[in-house]
């Protein structure tokens, strides 16, 4: 494990400890990015993962990085070295992948961005741990085995901690956070498409506020 990987893992840990939930956000209209991020921050959720699933995602990251100082904006659904580079250029402060590949890991180790690679099995988690990734994304959390599966991994892999993402909602978040190997969860329920489309920022801030105290 290189000192640089551990340094960036420490930075990733700082992001994941900002709040119990990382907001996982799909932005379809770039003008909504800044008010949405401000609503999440106002509710106590500063870590905002903008998924690279829409044509305006990088522009949204750039807008939030420029205009919302209190937000820790990152890029999600990072699938390639090109995605990683583009996210860094846009001002992302961390990057997240649903899985990992040798090329993407090599690019991440050459990048200054803190990186959270994805794992869904014990073998994948072990492979990442060998490269120094003690913090990983467990995805898709519910379909991949749920709470019982991740709890079982804590025995043989006590040094690995996860940000569990995929199929988790407000009603089940506390159960995930109670696991010894879960540092945070990723949640898309904080930004329901209907509320975003209506630009109901107070309602989104209220959802964020409820999530921000789940580990209190």
Task: Say how far residue 83 (Cα) sits from the centre of its chain.
Answer: 15
Given 8, 49, 67, 210, which residue is catalytic?
49
137 is catalytic: yes
Which of 79, 78, 67 has the alpha carbon at shortest distance from 30?
67
Positive or negative, the CA dihedral 135, 141, 145, 151 is: positive
For helices 201-212 and 33-42, the axis angle rounded to 10 degrees is 40
Given 67, 109, 137, 175, which residue is catalytic?
137
Which of 134, 163, 168, 167 has the alpha carbon at shortest distance from 76?
163
49 is catalytic: yes
Cis before 135 (ω within 30): no
CB 211 within 8 A of CB 187: yes
Q: In the sheet where 72-76 sits, what is the strand order?
A: 115-116, 95-96, 72-76, 47-51, 21-25, 182-187, 161-165, 135-138, 118-119
Which of 73, 4, 12, 3 has the alpha carbon at shortest distance from 38?
73
Q: Which residues are catalytic?
A: 49, 137
């Amino acid at each position: 494990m290189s000192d640089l990987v551990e340094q960036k893992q420490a930075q990733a840990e700082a992001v994941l400890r900002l709040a119990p939930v990382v907001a996982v956000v799909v932005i379809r209209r770039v003008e909504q990015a800044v008010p949405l991020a401000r609503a999440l921050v106002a509710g106590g959720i500063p870590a905002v993962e903008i998924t690279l699933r829409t044509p305006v995602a990088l522009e949204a990251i750039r807008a939030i990085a420029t205009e919302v100082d209190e937000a820790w904006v990152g890029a999600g659904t990072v699938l390639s070295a090109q995605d990683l580079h583009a996210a860094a250029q846009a001002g992302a402060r961390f990057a997240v992948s649903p899985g990992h590949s040798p090329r993407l890991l090599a690019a991440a180790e050459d990048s200054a961005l803190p990186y959270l690679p994805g794992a869904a099995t014990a073998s994948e988690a072990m492979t990442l741990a060998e490269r120094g990734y003690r913090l990983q994304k467990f995805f898709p959390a519910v379909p991949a085995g749920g709470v019982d599966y991740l709890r079982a991994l804590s025995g043989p892999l006590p040094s690995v901690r996860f940000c569990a993402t995929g199929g988790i909602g407000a009603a089940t978040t506390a159960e995930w956070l109670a696991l010894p190997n879960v540092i945070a969860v990723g949640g898309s329920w904080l930004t329901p498409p209907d509320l975003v489309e209506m630009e109901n920022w107070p309602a989104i801030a209220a959802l964020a506020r409820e999530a921000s105290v789940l580990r209190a």
